[in-house]
Amino acid sequence: MTPTDTIVALASPSGAGAIAVIRVSGTDALKICNSVFKSIHGKDLMRQKSHTIHLGHIMDANKTLDQVLVSLFKGPHSYTGENVVEISCHGSPYIQQQIIQLLLRKGCRMAEAGEFTLRAFLNGKLDLSQAEAVADLISSENEASHQIAMQQMRGGFSNEIKLLRDELLNFASLIELELDFAEEDVEFADRSKFKELLNRIEEVLKRLLDSFAVGNVIKNGIPVAIVGEPNVGKSTLLNALLNEERAIVSEIAGTTRDAIEDELTIGGIGFRFIDTAGIRVTSDVVENIGIKKTFEKIGQAQVVLFLHSAEEFKNAEINLKSLQTEVGKIASKHPDKPLVILVNKIDILNKKERESLEQLLSHVEGSDFEIISAKTKEGIDNLKNRLLKFVNTGALRNNETIVTNTRHYDALLKALDEVQKVQFGMDNSIPGDLLAIDIRQALFHFGEITGEITSDDLLGNIFANFCIGK
């Protein structure tokens, strides 16, 4: 077999690293990569020699995704024996996903588990004696990817997909019913029903696509609420993270009355920081309005940073209790929200005080902690890494159905494309047998997520629901 389509996948281990390698293989590997690559020297990749490396940017239209190094290997002198391009990009999962998605949109297909190796073998790049090893690899990788997929199908994803597929199958059956059983004494659904069903399918597909976690980040950034008493240094922290003087910094407690938002990219992931007033009850009317707003913002955020000043912990015994109470207050309202206690201004503590503070914080239930100095930037990197870890471990997912697997995303995207073709066809009175071509294609893409679909499903569905047969 000589597969000619072009496949893409991450070649380096998944997760955040210093750099990541995205491998593209297939007839159009060079062409597709060239279409998204802008060399800093204005080079055309199509004209470059094999086994060369080029510096440039991956561009999504006018938007720069990342600065990358691109290595060209022209077939047959490549790992797979086909044209291969390896893109070395920065290591954040966000950037990896951005680039991979761009390549998918440009005509690549997500590689199956072990497919690069399989192609290498088929093109004679591996020895026959390695066949069994390759086969084992493929089956074990499939198993692993299946397990991962199952894990990723949280929050009702698999249910939602199943329902959606049933809807599509239902639609396809109604169309097939008109075709194969036109002579039968059955009532055919009218066109407005079809359109309704299609619109519903389209809507769900769009919602699922929108839910794609990284996609969410691209659009909005991950909301992070910074909560703390007045004058514990929220604005300074924000400035430290933002690296610029944005929020109003003042020594007077309660300066930050309105929630201020700012965006910051850490390791390629967008974060939206929401600076809030504290939550301690005061008699100041303005402050109280601020507190109410704070809780609203906590509700919208996916991570809560609970900021304290090291000064507060001079009397450890008392403050452990009140800290636990306050953490409890937030946790009882938002039990699944990651909460990090940040103790700022540790530059004012000596070594011994610092140790006892850490000891103390490790006893607070329902939260993690991080000690920092926004002023000296100490601990800021640790904080950044902790935020990234939330993204990578998926701790930020909320309860709504979310698509997290690129392969699923790819399949849904293609399914949506087909569904939209069917809608267009309906609007233009295209006959059912031609609409069915696109519907089958959509069902095929669903099959890529849920398993195979055969025409037997359609017929079974028809026979179960309609009285067929003269």
Partner 1 sequence: MFEEVYDVIVVGGGHAGAEAAAAAANMGSKTLLATMNLQTIGQMSCNPAMGGIAKGQIVREIDALGGYSGIITDKSAIQFKMLNKSKGPAMWSPRAQNDRMRFAEEWRLALESTPNVDFYQEMISGLLIEGNTVKGVRTSLGIDIKGKSVVLTNGTFLNGLIHIGNKQFGGGRAGEKAATGITEQLTDLGFESGRMKTGTPPRVDGRSLDYSKMIVQPGDVHPEKFSYLDTPILSQQRDCFMTHTSEMVHDVLRTGFDRSPMFNGRIKSIGPRYCPSIEDKINRFADKSSHQLFVEPEGWDTVEVYVNGFSTSLPEDIQFKALRSVVGFEKVKFFRPGYAIEYDYFPPTQLKHTLETKLLNNLYFAGQINGTTGYEEAASQGLMAGINAHLKINDRDSFILKRDEAYIGVLIDDLITKGTEEPYRMFTSRAEYRTLLRQDNADLRLTPMSHAIGLATDERLRRMEEKRKKSDAFIKFFKQTSVSPESINPILEEVDSALVKQSDKMFKVFSRPKVTMDHMMQLEAVSNFVNENNLGQEEMEQAEIQVKYAGYIQKEKSNADKLHRLENVKIPDNFDYSILKSLSFEAREKLQSIRPITISQASRISGVSPSDISVLLVYMGR
Which residues make up each annotated binding site for (6S)-5-formyl-5,6,7,8-tetrahydrofolate?
23, 86, 125, 470
Comparison of 114 and 233: residue with beta carbon closer to partner 1? 114
CA distance 178 to 194: 12
Point out the annotated binding site for Mg(2+). Answer: 235, 256
Comparison of 6 and 97: residue with beta carbon closer to partner 1? 6
Query: Can you name the residues that pair with 341 across neighbouring β-strands?
Result: 306, 369
437 part of the interface to partner 1, by CB under 8 A: yes
Quote the least distance from Cβ 73 to partner 1, whole Å.
21
CA distance 168 to 162: 10
The 3-class secondary structure across 103-128, one letter per residue, is HHHCCCEECCCCHHHHHHHHCCCCCH
β-strand pairing of 52-60 with 37-39 = antiparallel
Segment contacting partner 1 by CB under 8 A, of 76-84, 106-114, 232-240, 335-343: 106-114
Segment contacting partner 1 by CB under 8 A, of 237-245, 327-335, 355-363, 427-435: 427-435
Query: Can you name the residues that pair with 10 across neighbouring β-strands?
Result: 22
10 part of the interface to partner 1, by CB under 8 A: no
Point out the annotated binding site for GTP. Answer: 231-236, 250-256, 275-278
Q: In residues, how long is the chain? A: 470
Closest CA to 354 of 341, 370, 376: 370
Comparison of 166 and 263: residue with beta carbon closer to partner 1? 166
Comparison of 1 and 18: residue with beta carbon closer to partner 1? 1
Using CB under 8 A, which of 73, 116, 121, 369 touches partner 1? 121
428 part of the interface to partner 1, by CB under 8 A: yes
Using CB under 8 A, which of 30, 36, 113, 453 touches partner 1? 113
Quote the least distance from Cβ 460 to partner 1, whole Å.
9
Quote the least distance from Cβ 448 to partner 1, whole Å.
9
CA distance 6 to 142: 20
**Do the Cβ atoms of 247 and 275 come closer than 8 Å?**
yes
CA distance 422 to 431: 11
Quote the least distance from Cβ 431 to partner 1, whole Å.
4
Quote the least distance from Cβ 140 to partner 1, whole Å.
8
CA distance 90 to 68: 7
Comparison of 64 and 140: residue with beta carbon closer to partner 1? 140
Q: Which of residues 173-232 bind partner 1 (CB under 8 A)?
A: 176, 178-183, 185
26 part of the interface to partner 1, by CB under 8 A: no
State which H helix or E strand residue 433 sits in: helix 432-450
Comparison of 42 and 469: residue with beta carbon closer to partner 1? 469
Quote the least distance from Cβ 135 to partner 1, whole Å.
4
CA distance 466 to 133: 50
Helices (H), 60-190: 93-105, 115-122, 131-152, 157-180
- Distances in whole angstroms, Cα of residue 315 to Cα of each of 277, 321, 322, 353: 24, 11, 11, 11
**Do the Cβ atoms of 320 and 364 come closer than 8 Å?**
yes
Using CB under 8 A, which of 41, 321, 351, 470 touches partner 1? 470
122 part of the interface to partner 1, by CB under 8 A: yes
State which H helix or E strand residue 29 sits in: helix 29-36
Point out the annotated binding site. Answer: 23, 86, 125, 231-236, 250-256, 275-278, 470
Quote the least distance from Cβ 129 to partner 1, whole Å.
12
Quote the least distance from Cβ 240 to partner 1, whole Å.
50
Comparison of 65 and 453: residue with beta carbon closer to partner 1? 453
DSSP per residue, 326-376: HHHHHHHH-TTS-EEEEEE-GGGS-HHHHHHHHHHHTT-TT-EEEE-BTTT
Quote the least distance from Cβ 3 to partner 1, whole Å.
7
x-or-dash pattern for partner 1, window 126-165, by CB under 8 A? -----xx-xxx-xx--x-----------------------
**Do the Cβ atoms of 137 and 114 come closer than 8 Å?**
yes
Quote the least distance from Cβ 392 to partner 1, whole Å.
27
Closest CA to 406 of 216, 213, 222, 268: 213
386 part of the interface to partner 1, by CB under 8 A: no
Footprint on this chain of partner 1 (rule: CB under 8 A) = 1-3, 112-115, 118, 121-122, 124, 131-132, 134-136, 138-139, 142, 176, 178-183, 185, 428-434, 436-437, 440, 452, 454-456, 458-459, 463, 467-470
